[in-house]
Structure formats: C-alpha cells, structure tokens
Structure 1
C-alpha cells in the first residue's frame, strides 16, 4: 500500500486526470480556483470528525459524513446519489487519528459521557455501546477505506470508488494506492 501526498499538480495520478477526483484534490491541496457547478460531480464519504473541513465549491459533491467514512449503513443514500444524482465517482476519505480506530478502548469514556451529557443511566449507556461499537469500530483507517472502496466498486461496477487519506495536521489529501 502506498500513500501519495499531492503537493503539486503533476503528482496527481494520471488515472484521475479530467475527473472530479482530480478536481477535489486540486481544490483541497492546490487551492485551485473554484468552478461553478449545477449538479454534483461525485459523492464524498468522509468521517464525521469535526477537525476536517474540505475546500470545495457549492454544488460540487454529495457528502455523507459518518464515523470512519463507513458507508455500509448508508447504502440507500449512496444509491440515491448514483441513481438520481448520476454521480460516477465516489471518494472515501479516511483521516489520521480517527476515533473509530480502537473504539473499544473508549468504552468507559463513551458510557460516562452519555451518563453525564445525555442523562442516561449506566446500564442503558453500556448496552448502547455494546450494541453499536462492533458495527462501527475499524482496525486501521487506511485499510478500511481501501477495502470499503473495493466493496463499493464491486456493488456499483459503473462507478469508480477512490480511497483518500486526510491529514489533520496540514489539511492535505493523499491518494491511497494498493
């Protein structure tokens, strides 16, 4: 597996030339001038983490934000973007320091937080965590979006699914190549 941080235009893989993936990377990493869009060019699946903000123009993309960029439980929304929005590209963006990695280690903090902030009782908070944490925990964010992009490409063979990594420190995207 290889990560390619895009710091100049000639580093964007040629596979993405003249595609919305190229435009996304150029907007985020190279401060490309915004174009005007009347419809979405792609679907972006990315983590709900508040430390990430993409630099993209209005109407450029559908966006689904969910823990770890996990779209397994958002497939109807993905299908909608493809069927109604006519997108041909899906970009899955993982990021470093993702809270969904090793989620089980945050069990006690999660439970205590629900008790304190939502006024839940401990038993309810424990059951909630144990019911949902296994569905959302990921081992490695880069491997996860690589595998999730493969899964989506198999499910939607007419759509190109591309895994990227967002760096919290510098707000830059890297292409993930297998």
Structure 2
C-alpha cells in the first residue's frame, strides 16, 4: 500500500482526528505561524532525527523532544514511557525527514570507520562498533520507517495519539503521513 504525504497549508488540511489536539497545534505553530500560547507542562512528545538541518517552530514548554538517529525511538522507549507516565502527554508526533543519513546506513560504513580512525580510534575497534550497532539504527526508507514506528507505538501505548509526519528539508515544513 502506498503512503500518502499530505501538505498542511491551512487548518482544514489537518486531518480531523488531529484537529484541536496537540498534534494539530504542532502543525499550526510550525506550518501556519499560529501565535504561541503559553505552556507550563508539555502537551506532547516529539520524536525526530538528530539531524541538525531541522528545527521546529514551537513555543517553550510545549513538547518533550527526543532526537535520535532517524527518529528511531526503539532504544529510547523508557524515555517515551516517562513522558507518558510522569509527564502525562497523550500525543506523540513522530517526525521523519527526507535525505536522512540513517537511510542506507550500511553504505556509509567506510566513512564511519575512517571518521573514528581520524580522531584516534583503532580501525578494528571502529569497525566492531559500526557492526555492533548499525543494524539497530538503519531505517531503510524514511516514510516506511516512520509509519512502521507509529504502528509499533500505537500498539504499545493504546491510549496515546500517535501521528507520523515528514519534515521536508527543501521547505522546512511538516507533512502528514497516512496509508
């Protein structure tokens, strides 16, 4: 089944089940320049890539933000549970982005190893490091990965609204994903 990528250029473009939720407000703040409201407590958890080319336009205290390679939250699940259990958030925005470095990670093996050797690592130790962790962080296709991760988190946290999104580097906007 082919994924849909939907632009958000006006409030009506936000899927109805996200309107008037923290997910909808995230889209309004980032894409539609909604004036910032004041927050004392986080309203949602944002899981997104550590990539330095992305920056969200949101108010202070609005969201917990977990930045990991590829936006992969599998190794950050305790932190997700903390935001839900202690922080009481009931919405998660999972944001993939195009041109992600975790896509086809295996093709970057030589650069990864050489970069560590350049700062003093032993080549064998650097290769072992890559081989031990790369498969855990390889995401394949960005859109397919974030849709799959959203499904996993929905099953794990059934009372939490989970929204998969795509951040396009070309225009710095968020897009809704669906199937």
Give the TM-score band, short-chain normalised. over 0.9
Q: How far is 1:12 from its partner? A: 1.0
Q: 1:110: which partner in 2?
A: 112
Q: How far is 1:97 from its partner? A: 0.1
Q: How far is 1:160 from its partner? A: 1.1
Question: Matched residue of 1:74: which SS?
Answer: helix
**Candidates 55, 58, 61, aligned match of 1:59:** 61
The answer to whether the aligner puts 1:93 opposite 2:95 as a matched pair is yes
Q: How far is 1:164 from its partner? A: 0.2
Root-mean-square deviation (CA, aligned residues, Å) is 0.6
| CA deviation profile, 1:62-114 (whole Å, cap 9, x unmatched) | 01000011000001000000000000001100000000000000000000001
Q: Could you state the TM-score of these two structures normalised by the residue count of structure 1?
A: 0.98
Q: 2:17: which partner in 1?
A: 15
C-alpha distance in 2 between matches for 1:64 and 1:142: 18
1:95-174 pair list within 5 angstroms:
95-117=97-119, 119-174=120-175
**Candidates 56, 80, 83, aligned match of 1:81:** 83
Q: 2:40: which partner in 1?
A: 38
**What stretches of structure 1 of length at least 5 have no aligned partner?**
none
Structure 1 stretches (4+) deviating beyond 4 angstroms? none
